[in-house]
Structure 1
């Protein structure tokens, strides 16, 4: 009788564990944030592609006049694209400067600037 009871309890325990595992796998988060497992990662191999991505993100077209500088920071593994507007006065301030940082390995984009 004890063996039969143990088998029944073991069976119910396994069934509950399976149901909980299915629930955890199928459960979707209720917040609107993008989670790390849902992100689309892409590789940014060179400076030209990084500049093209930054142009699209910043909505920079041919009609806008910016000096663009593309650098690679090996410490943070990021492409750093700096947009400095061409000023006729040339007073040397960085007003209106925009900086876009793109991770080389996973492609996350960070925007800094005015």
Structure 2
């Protein structure tokens, strides 16, 4: 697996990446499906898919990743460990963004009248 470009990594960690969905979550790559997760303060992260648990590699600074076998993105959940506490949750980056470009434009202008 190719490591993240240093510029992309820095923008993600600073919260300044313009499209984190393009980097985080699951994406088909040559040789499988890469799953990248940003979980600051986590001690360990694993994906749970089809009853199997696969540990992600710790890339430092809260970034974790793994390449799963297969050509399609599976339905998976995250098992995250923080200082002895373990929780299982959905990966929000597994799902498409809920806001479209037009919504973001209106929000930036301060005139989106249908946010509810």
Q: Give the TM-score, by structure 2 length.
A: 0.24
